[in-house]
């Protein structure tokens, strides 16, 4: 089983093994990226935040979609992830604002972003942190802005689901439940909340809009 770092029960499960993560999951997850961008409806010129960006693959893909007139930022609580993401952006000659930060304490002004995306992060946020992160996302979104949370949707088959939970980190997986994220979004006053499979890998999503 891959170990995550439990910083404190209240801060989330950070992933500090950035190079290994990128080597293992970078290629695997690349097949879902265009679909995530499509679901988030990221357009040219948009300002986008990738929350819990890890090594920044999806963040860099988002930057390619917004173009020169758009702005993309990525935050992650693990400094090792941000260091690798910055290195990858520099190698590509791409300008993305990567910062070490917690999902529940975002270092951005109110109404900054058109879109916030977050892939495979919410199962790292225990208990009330999911609510806090959704409130923070709502704060930094512009009115009418979109929040897209993508996470594992593991098969209910005991053998397959059990194996994946073991492989991916059994402590965190019970906390992955996009249907519950959709409930939390509604409770946090997001509008037009929807929840479905992404049609890629074992990933599902919950999406909501900040009220105008």
Ligand X SMILES: C[S@@+](CC[C@H](N)C(=O)[O-])C[C@H]1O[C@@H](n2cnc3c(N)ncnc32)[C@H](O)[C@@H]1O
Binding site for ligand X (CB under 6 A): 11-15, 25, 29, 52-54, 58, 76-78, 81, 102-104, 119-121, 124-125
Closest approach, Cβ 64 to ligand X, in A, equals: 16
Residue 166 or 191 having the CB closest to ligand X: 166
Residue 15 or 137 having the CB closest to ligand X: 15
- Site of tokens 């990221």: 42
Closest approach, Cβ 52 to ligand X, in A, equals: 3
Strand partners, 195: 206
Confirm if 62 and 89 have CB atoms less than 8 A apart.
no
Separation CA 51–CA 189 (nearest Å): 20
Residue 71 or 123 having the CB closest to ligand X: 123
Selection from 140, 105, 134 nearest residue 122 by Cα? 134
Closest approach, Cβ 185 to ligand X, in A, equals: 18
Count of C-beta atoms within a 10 Å radius of residue 24: 12
Selection from 3, 100, 105 nearest residue 56 by Cα? 100
Closest approach, Cβ 10 to ligand X, in A, equals: 9
Closest approach, Cβ 81 to ligand X, in A, equals: 4
Selection from 204, 157, 138, 199 nearest residue 176 by Cα? 204
Confirm if 63 and 35 have CB atoms less than 8 A apart.
no
Residue 9 or 157 having the CB closest to ligand X: 9
3-state secondary structure 23-52: HHHHHHHHHHHHHHHHHHCCCCCCEEEEEC
Closest approach, Cβ 71 to ligand X, in A, equals: 18
Residue 128 or 192 having the CB closest to ligand X: 128
Separation CA 88–CA 79 (nearest Å): 14
Token readout for 180 is: 């519950």
Residue 52 or 145 having the CB closest to ligand X: 52
């Amino acid at each position: 089983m891959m170990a995550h770092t439990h910083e404190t029960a209240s801060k989330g499960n950070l992933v500090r093994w950035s190079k290994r993560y990128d080597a293992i999951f970078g290629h695997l997850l690349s097949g879902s990226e265009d679909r995530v961008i499509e679901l988030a409806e990221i357009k040219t010129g948009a300002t986008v935040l990738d929350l819990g960006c890890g090594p920044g693959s999806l963040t860099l893909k988002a930057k390619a979609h917004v173009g020169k007139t758009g702005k993309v930022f990525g935050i992650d609580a693990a400094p090792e992830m941000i260091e690798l993401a910055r290195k990858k952006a520099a190698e590509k000659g791409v300008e993305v604002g990567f910062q070490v930060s917690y999902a529940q304490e975002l270092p951005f002004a109110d109404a900054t972003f058109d879109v916030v995306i977050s892939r495979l992060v919410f199962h790292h946020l225990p208990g009330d942190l999911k609510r806090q992160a959704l409130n923070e996302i709502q704060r930094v979104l512009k009115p009418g802005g979109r929040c897209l949370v993508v996470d594992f949707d593991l098969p209910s088959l005991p053998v397959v689901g059990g194996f994946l939970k073991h492989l991916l980190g059994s402590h965190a997986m019970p906390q992955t439940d996009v249907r519950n994220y959709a409930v939390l979004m509604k409770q946090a006053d997001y509008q037009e909340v929807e929840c479905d499979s992404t049609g890629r890998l074992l990933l599902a999503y919950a999406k909501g809009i900040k009220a105008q």
